[in-house]
Amino acid sequence: MAKKSRGKRPCAICRKWFQPDVRQKGRQRTCSPACRKNLHRRQCAEYNRENKADSKNNYLAKKLEKAVDQHTSNATVAAISLQKQTKPVLPMEVIVNEYGIKPAVIVQYLIGQTITHGRIHKSP
């Protein structure tokens, strides 16, 4: 194929075939500085998204740990349900009694996430 012999490749952003700069020895993935910028932005966005997922995992894990600690060190469920409750206030006592402290914290977290994201997506 011609693309192999002539060293042309498709741009990772705009898909146009381009001739990579020989000095870059095959590392070049985009046809122009504009596309390179675009690719960089895209990779950063991806990185941030993954990192965000990570920090969310850590956040929830810490929250669970803390809740279990408090629960076992005979703090009342009412005390747990009062701390940092986001709207709507959940029947934490019922949830904890029915499912246990961990599911209760997870439910609380998910509700919080849903509310936050709903808010973000509504505002432009």
Torsion from C-alpha of 59, 63, 65, 71, nearest 10 degrees: 180
Q: Verify binding: residue 31, Zn ion, rule CB under 5 A.
A: yes
Build a one-symbol-per-residue string for 32-61: x at contacts with Zn ion by CB under 5 A, - elsewhere: ---x--------------------------
Rule CB under 5 A: say whether 13 interacts with Zn ion. Answer: yes
- Rounded to a whole number of angstroms, the minimum distance from the CB of residue 75 to Zn ion is 58
By residue count, the chain amounts to: 124
Q: Which is nearer to Zn ion, 20 or 112 (CB)?
A: 20
* Angle at 33 (CA atoms; ends 31, 38), nearest 5 degrees: 90
Q: Which of 3, 6, 14, 54 binds Zn ion (CB under 5 A)?
A: 14
Piece of 27-35, 49-57, 76-84, 99-107 that binds Zn ion (CB under 5 A): 27-35
Tokens 């349900």 belong to residue: 81
Pick the closer one to Zn ion by CB: 11 or 95. Answer: 11
Rounded CA gap, 74 and 77, in Å? Answer: 9
The three-state secondary structure class of 18 is: strand
